[in-house]
A and B are shown apart, each in its own frame.
Chain A
């Protein structure tokens, strides 16, 4: 009985490590081998009780398909994402996303309200705020939030 419990315990421990490990593997792989796309966004500043403060974002590009279709991604000359088409079959030959939620960018408690204050003061005709997102085979990971090509963390420390 005790031997069986030991197996259960180790199985439990392995599963506990495997679940976050799998998330890490998928996201890490996408982050370092995926293709970069810029998505123009508008932020605001809510709070998640467990994961802390984040800048909530809305992409200016509409990426949502109510029929669950795949959005085919291309890039314009400046590296911004453009949707070249929609299709119901999973594409094989190019990058795509399916209803991606590019809605959260986590920052610490001091920086998130600061980020919100800064973005309020931006001149949207001149300043550009965008998310740099890595995409690979439908997986996507946010690499950074940028204001005028400067990571927001650095931008805040400069201001």
Chain B
């Protein structure tokens, strides 16, 4: 219970005693029932992290002003100072503030960034020519132990951002190793965390990392559309896996991203009538493998069709119908759009309704201006679609009237 609510309970229970509604003993029991939460406020955590960042940046900027005038030994001492300060903060956190999320998160971010700063300053003092990617790789590897030791999710974001950045400059196995190094942390934290926001944060970062590794593995061999479909499908597979093993719904943000990724890919694919000529073996193998894994997983633990099943099926169908990908993509977008509209109307959820309408309007707009189709063909298809929509509308109205009667 947060402070405002607790204060309200305390004030009200005092008045209840005054009015004779409860006895003082009962008031004590009521107040004990609603203790002040000891959990740190997210705002405190946010300020701790931002504070650490600002102090680090401020120190660097102050010394940067007259940096060149300082003797080498002084520069070296200054390079180590933030690191030593961060180590002291972390040691204090470890001894006295293990349960303070603000200290753990802030301290480990400070520690990670002060190592970044120490290496950068030493590189600058001796004018070393090492490239940015090698420097970042060393820095994020040294951030990793802090992530585990302090269960630091903010420092983990630094690690993942760095891993994604350096991944594009190194062979793909480097990215795989970097991902493997952080996966146990995800596993431990997902098992421990029950806070929805934290879960979403963790899963969003995990999905970024997996998508990036997939994109890296496929980048030189596959088409961009295939990479996007594979990443979207992989996220949906992860969602199915999480639902299977942990009964947790993978996301809000990450699931939305994967659905968007696949539907946008479908919209783009609807332009390409010659997709079959560009299809790559790697793209096919990746999508087929992940698609098969998704189907197998859903089949073995079937618990009714989910909206994600339809999105995943669309990706698989698009890949299988690559010879007529343009037509297939258009139809799939229409089906998905109709599905979300119907779902939104039934459950009265506006975001579903709006998403469905956005899909349908997008595909209609794209086809309306599509000069590769002849006017007569477009006209007939539009009339048929319009009639279908009106028909669905009439059907739903009749059904609703029937229900009301």
- Residues on A lying within 8 angstroms of B by beta carbon are 5-6, 8-9, 12-13, 15-17, 19-20, 23-24, 27-28, 31, 48-52, 54, 101-109, 111, 141-142, 153
Q: Is B87 an interface residue (CB 8 A)?
A: yes
Number of interface residues, chain B, beta carbon within 8 A = 37
The contact of A20 among B67, B79, B136, B149, by CB within 8 Å, is B79
**Known contacts A19-B142, A20-B79: does B87 contact A104 (CB below 8 Å)?**
no
CB within 8 A of A141: which of B94, B126, B138? B126
Given contacts A8-B145, A50-B132, contact A105 B127 (CB under 8 A): yes
Q: What are the residues of chain B within 8 A of A19 when measuring CB–CB?
A: 119, 138, 142
Say whether B132 contacts A49, CB under 8 Å.
Answer: yes
CA distance A104 to B125 in the complex (A): 11
Q: Are B76 and A104 in contact (CB under 8 A)?
A: no
| Contact in complex: B119, A20 (CB < 8 Å) | yes
Cβ contact within 8 Å between B145 and A17: no
B129 at the interface (CB under 8 A from A): yes
User: How many pairs of residues, A versus B, come closer than 8 Å at their CB atoms?
Assistant: 87
Inter-chain contacts of A54 with B (CB < 8 A): 124, 127
Q: For the complex, is B123 an interface residue (Cβ under 8 Å from A)?
A: yes
**Please, which residues of chain B bring their CB within 8 A of the CB of A49?**
132
* Contact status A107-B68, CB under 8 Å: yes
Complex CA distance for A115 and B116, rounded to whole angstroms: 27
Which of A13, A17, A28, A106 is B127 in contact with, Cβ under 8 Å? A106
Which of B120, B123, B129 is in CB contact (< 8 Å) with A102? B129
Known: A20-B119, A50-B135. A104 touches B128 (CB 8 A): yes
Pick from A5, A101, A107: contact of B149, CB under 8 Å: A5
For A23, give the chain B residue with the smallest CB separation.
B122
- Partner pick for B72 among A8, A12, A28, CB 8 A cutoff: A28
A6 to B149, alpha carbons, bound, how many Å? 10
- Once the chains bind, are B145 and A12 in contact (CB under 8 Å)? yes
Taken together as a complex, chains A and B put the C-alpha atoms of A79 and B122 apart, in Å, by: 27
Closest to B127 in A: A142
What residues of B have a CB within 8 angstroms of the CB of A50 in the complex? 116, 120, 132, 135-136
